[in-house]
Each structure stands twice: as structure tokens, then as C-alpha cells.
Amino acid sequence: KLEAVIFDLDGVITDTAHLHFQAWRQVACEIGIEIDETFNNTLKGISRGESLRRILHFGGCEAAFTQPQRDALASRKNGIYVDSLSQLTAQSILPGIHELLLELRERQIPTGLASVSLNAPTILNMLGIAELFTFCADAGRITHSKPDPEIFLAACDGLGVSAQRCIGIEDAQAGIDAINACGMHSIGIGAGLQHAGLRLTSTDQLTWPCLSAFWQHAQ
């Protein structure tokens, strides 16, 4: 039996990737580094600190910044990002997601959130869907970013389910790798994802009939 469905946040529930990008682009620009959307794709599912490290590396100036300077840059980015979250409403939920969460609740299938974003609880509240999640893994207690399976295992732990009996949904390669690494069944949303158990082009294809057919097929 399917014991739980565990969701990524950014790119699956709502599109915060663009807001992360705008905030990082501004901070990077201030220190003379130019990043584009293609580079930003490599930051999906990657923690704030590790994202900054990759940006500095990309700009060839990793050695030039001390830890206190990095902390200041990361918190400046977060300030810009958090300000931009005020534009989120129920309309910002990606197509089909609200319906799927309601259907899973009706079927009494627990739902989990596996986001490495420290802002995840705020975002779910802004979208008005916080109460549709049975358990949200605490990003503040995670020491390894995706593709490490830690955040997904924390979600399974909190739900009291075994990873092998769960479906995980992700839009980033690091996330698909994290799901696969803990033995969960992976569904990938979007183009260019490798090793997903099922690949869909958009969240509106994430219906209960689709999930249950995938689950049956995986058994």
C-alpha cells in the first residue's frame, strides 16, 4: 500500500525559483558576478549557503570572501527573497496541486513536505495550504542539501512511513537523485530530468489516477 506522498516545494507546489533567482542575481551583481537562468537551474534544491558558495565559485572569487562576509551576503539575499514572497497568494499554487492535496486527504494518504528552504512554512501559509500537509520536514535540522536523501528521510521519519512505500515528487535533478537514493519512487516534473520513475511535463498531470497507476506499475 502507498503510505505517503512527499512533495518538494519550489517548482512543484509553487514557482519560487524565479524569486530565488531575482534575489541571487541582485546580490551577485553587487559583487560583480553575473548569473543567468541556466546557471540558476543548478541551484534548485540547493541550500542557501551552498548556493552562495556555487555562485562565488562560478564568479571565480570563492577565496575572496570570509565566512562573516558570506553570512552577510546570504542574509541580504534572504531579505530580498522574503520581501518578494509577499506577492504569493493561493493563485500562486501550481496547476493541479491543490486538487491533488485534497484528493490525498480524502483518501487518507498522508502528505509530506521535503523542502530545504527555511522559508517553507511561511510559503505554505501564504498559499493557504499549510494544513493540507501531514508533516513538513524541518530544513533547519538538515545538514546536507539535496541530492543527499536527508530531507526526504526526515519527512518519512516524521510521517512514520518507510521510504520504499512512498512516492516523492521533484522538479530538480538533485531532488530526483535524493528521492532515488532513499529508495522512494520518484516522479519528475519538467524537462531534462534523468532517472525519474515517471516523468511528467507539468504539475497539472499530477492527478490521483496518474499517481495510483504509477504506484500499481511499480509494485
Q: Which does 46 bind (CB under 5 to 8 A by kind): ligand G16, Mg ion, none?
A: ligand G16
Contact with ligand G16 (CB under 6 A) among 115, 134, 180, 203: 115
Q: Please indicate if the annotation marks 186 as binding a ligand.
A: no
Amino acid in position 42: T
Contact with ligand G16 (CB under 6 A) among 22, 41, 42, 78: 78
CB under 5 A: which stretch of 3-11, 98-106, 150-158, 206-214 binds Mg ion? 3-11
Cis previous bond, 147, omega within 30: yes
Least Cβ distance, residue 119 to ligand G16 (angstroms): 4
Query: Cα–Cα distance between 131 and 144 in angstroms, integer?
Result: 27
Amino acid in position 142: I
Phi first, then psi: what are they for 37, rounded to 5°? -60, -35
Task: Spell out where the chain has E strands.
Answer: 4-7, 111-113, 135-136, 166-170, 185-189, 198-200
Q: Cα angle at 93 between 77 and 159, to 5 degrees?
A: 85
- Looking at the annotation, which residues are catalytic? 8, 10
Q: Please report, as ranges, the residues that interact with ligand G16 according to CB under 6 A.
A: 8-10, 20, 43-48, 51, 78, 115-119
Q: Please report, as ranges, the residues that interact with Mg ion according to CB under 5 A.
A: 8, 10-11, 171-172
Binding residues for substrate: 8-10, 24, 43-48, 51, 77, 115-119, 146
